[in-house]
Chains A and B, each alone.
Chain A
Amino acid sequence: MDKFKVDQELIAKIDRILESYDYDDNSVVNILLEIQSHIPENYIPEEVAKYVGIELGIPTSKVYDVITFFSAINDKPKGRHVVQLCKSSVCRLNKYQTIRDVLEEELKIKMGETTKDGQFTLQYSTCFGACDISPAFRIDDKVYGNLTKGKIKEIINTYRGL
């Protein structure tokens, strides 16, 4: 894979985020989450992790302690949109497998994979508290439940090209 290029525009964005948290190293978890939301590949590249460490005055190892501990922060690139399917106990009872099959068919990838155009990553997730509309999946921050095959296709289509 090509090395991640940190451009001036991204640096400016990161600086704005750091400033909004007063360069407070206690806020590193929330800082990283916010930076990640500005990176199309939904991850924290090594260059960015180092930069954040220097700016906050903490070692890179501490930044990585946080990145690798929390599942919402990624150290490897993902698709532009991350499709997360819940396979916790509730969604298992409500047969999440039927949703999985439709998602895999529609995106033409298997669980854990990213589409060739880098548009979607499909992955499992633990319970995100949508058990009242289970089986459910989320795309980025939005949660979808009470699904039918047609509805899933429609939802995916709204994200294509975005």
Chain B
Amino acid sequence: MNRTVNIISKNFKKYNPESIEEYLELGGFEALKKAIEMGPQEIISTLKTSGLKGRGGAAFSTGRKWEYSANVKGDKKFIICNADEGEPATFKDRYLLEYDPFKVIEGMIIAAYTTGSTNGYIYIREEYKYLHNKVRKAIELAEKHGFLGKNILGSGLNFNIKVVSGAGAYVCGESTALIESIEGKSGRPRLKLTRTSKQGLFGLPTLVNNVETLAAVPPILEMGVEEYIKYGTHTSKGTKLISLCGNVNKPGAYEVPFGITLREIIYDIGGGIKDGKQLKFLQLGGASGAIIPAKLIDIKYCYEDLEEHGASVGSGAILVADETNKVTHFLKSVQDFFIHESCGKCTPCREGNRQLTKIINRFVTGNASVEDLKTVEKFANVMKYASFCGLGQTAPTALLTAIKYFPVEFYQQIDRIRKTS
């Protein structure tokens, strides 16, 4: 049964991304024209009605974010498209850049028109180097056709876009670390005394949006918000691109309406578990996301229902693990990632990840103590509440949810002698 939908992903594999003519034939840049007819105020109110939230993981209202940016005055304002998709198990932005780069560009132009921005950057991770020139080519074609440059479509908007490469740092997905990196510094997050929308890149007003968030805007304007919110649930409106992967038969990026159950995603869309095995757990939203057990797969995939179980949509990653995987061993790979990616700026994250790694290694080898379980939970909570940025705050999410849902797996790894002493 086909449970996927085609709104953001409508054009995937339908046109040659090196041909702007083919994009135009599919109705490309019609949303931009409509946007210019609507005017900034109406676009913002439409986005608010659409319930569109930041699809990179932070889930902040896009309509409100654009409103803040539109209200900030400045001759030079920036828009950054965050294509630093570094969250393990996430690859949906790659599909957008690969199969529909013009839609991302169109979304950025609409954002520029709405907020009065002058310069755009697409910050693409180094790992997607093979896409850098493809996106540059798309920008060039958009310029040639008058969708970028001076007085775009007679609206008075002057806007251009540049591609900037990341250099292999997960933390640069955090907007201020990303900005530091564009400014030619090592990518450590900033202390946010003022909003990025007021003081961001080079100290100027900056709007940072994820690839998928920007790509969702043209379809919403084009089909009309009433039509868009027919998809999804009352509080999680519309659709989401998910990255389905792990021990599943048909891994890939799919678009689903919010409110679909996890079971439908894994079995109907993903074709079930590989080699006929049983599902054991899922990790939702990437390495920084929660681990939930198989018994919860009948819950709805939407912001509110996941939150009830300590999980979140995050980036849209859905990692499927079968019965052969040990939770503690899996946590080790999550921990290996965070210890490598912690930027070292703040103590809770830098030292916390070191300590979590040490203790988790003892659970892997089976010589942990009862105290280890208490200590690891305590440290994880310190990180969650005291870390400087989202990286450290969410790094222990997998561990904390694993302890909640799979306590027995931890008990089993406690050394027998230490258990009794």
- CB < 8 Å A-B pair total: 126
A65 at the interface (CB under 8 A from B): yes
C-alpha gap A72/B245 in the complex (Å): 25
Q: How far is the CB of A13 from chain B (nearest CB, A)?
A: 18
By a CB distance below 8 angstroms, the chain B residues around A72 are: 126-127, 166-168
Best-buried of A29, A72, A128, A142 by chain B (most CB within 10 Å): A29
B165 at the interface (CB under 8 A from A): yes
Q: How far is the CB of B353 from chain A (nearest CB, A)?
A: 14
- The answer to whether residues A89 and B127 also contact, given A33-B167, A131-B243, A132-B245 and a CB cut-off of 8 A, is no
Is the beta-carbon distance between A134 and B165 smaller than 8 angstroms? Answer: no
When each residue 202-228 of chain B gets 1 if its CB lies under 8 Å from chain A and 0 otherwise, what string results? 100000000000000000000000000
Is the beta-carbon distance between A89 and B184 smaller than 8 angstroms? Answer: no
B236 at the interface (CB under 8 A from A): no
Residues facing A in B230-265 (CB within 8 A) are 243, 245-247, 251-253
- The answer to whether residues A129 and B85 also contact, given A26-B184, A70-B169, A93-B325 and a CB cut-off of 8 A, is yes
Report the nearest B residue to A69, measured CB to CB: B186
C-alpha gap A126/B169 in the complex (Å): 10
Is the beta-carbon distance between A70 and B187 smaller than 8 angstroms? Answer: yes
- The answer to whether residues A65 and B246 also contact, given A89-B283, A89-B337, A126-B337 and a CB cut-off of 8 A, is no
By a CB distance below 8 angstroms, the chain A residues around B129 are: 141
C-alpha gap A24/B94 in the complex (Å): 29
- The answer to whether residues A27 and B184 also contact, given A127-B86, A129-B94, A141-B129 and a CB cut-off of 8 A, is yes
Q: How far is the CB of B247 from chain A (nearest CB, A)?
A: 6
By a CB distance below 8 angstroms, the chain A residues around B319 are: 89-90, 93, 131
Q: How far is the CB of B277 from chain A (nearest CB, A)?
A: 11
A115 at the interface (CB under 8 A from B): no
Is the beta-carbon distance between B287 and A25 smaller than 8 angstroms? Answer: no
On chain A, the number of residues with a Cβ less than 8 Å from chain B's Cβ atoms is 38
Is the beta-carbon distance between A129 and B127 smaller than 8 angstroms? Answer: yes
Is the beta-carbon distance between B184 and A25 smaller than 8 angstroms? Answer: yes
One of B59-67, B295-303, B328-336, B410-418 contacting the partner: B328-336
Is the beta-carbon distance between A90 and B128 smaller than 8 angstroms? Answer: no
Contact of B169 among A32, A69, A88, A128 (CB under 8 A): A69
By a CB distance below 8 angstroms, the chain A residues around B279 are: none
C-alpha gap A62/B251 in the complex (Å): 42
By a CB distance below 8 angstroms, the chain B residues around A27 are: 184
A85 at the interface (CB under 8 A from B): no
Is the beta-carbon distance between B168 and A70 smaller than 8 angstroms? Answer: yes
When each residue 86-109 of chain B gets 1 if its CB lies under 8 Å from chain A and 0 otherwise, what string results? 111111001000000000000000
Is the beta-carbon distance between A93 and B321 smaller than 8 angstroms? Answer: yes
Is the beta-carbon distance between B182 and A89 smaller than 8 angstroms? Answer: no
- The answer to whether residues A127 and B89 also contact, given A71-B167, A71-B168, A132-B245 and a CB cut-off of 8 A, is yes
Is the beta-carbon distance between B246 and A94 smaller than 8 angstroms? Answer: yes
C-alpha gap A90/B283 in the complex (Å): 10
Q: How far is the CB of B206 from chain A (nearest CB, A)?
A: 14
C-alpha gap A89/B326 in the complex (Å): 12
Is the beta-carbon distance between A90 and B89 smaller than 8 angstroms? Answer: yes
Contact of A66 among B186, B252, B336 (CB under 8 A): B186
C-alpha gap A138/B246 in the complex (Å): 19
Q: How far is the CB of B94 from chain A (nearest CB, A)?
A: 5
- The answer to whether residues A26 and B126 also contact, given A70-B169, A89-B330, A90-B245 and a CB cut-off of 8 A, is no
By a CB distance below 8 angstroms, the chain A residues around B169 are: 69-71
Contact of B333 among A25, A68, A87, A132 (CB under 8 A): A87
Is the beta-carbon distance between A128 and B321 smaller than 8 angstroms? Answer: no
Binding site for B on A (CB under 8 A): 24-30, 32-33, 62, 65-66, 68-73, 87-90, 92-94, 126-134, 138, 141-143
A-B contact pairs, 19 of them (CB 8 A): A26-B202, A29-B184, A33-B165, A65-B185, A68-B186, A69-B169, A69-B188, A70-B186, A71-B340, A72-B166, A88-B337, A89-B88, A92-B330, A126-B340, A127-B87, A127-B88, A129-B94, A131-B319, A132-B252
Give the 5 A-B residue pairs with the shortest CB-CB distance, closest first.
Answer: A72-B168, A69-B186, A70-B167, A127-B88, A128-B127
**Seed contacts A29-B181, A69-B186; 19 additional CB < 8 Å A-B pairs:** A30-B165, A32-B167, A65-B185, A69-B169, A69-B187, A69-B343, A70-B168, A70-B169, A71-B169, A88-B88, A88-B333, A89-B88, A89-B330, A93-B322, A127-B87, A127-B287, A131-B88, A132-B243, A143-B130
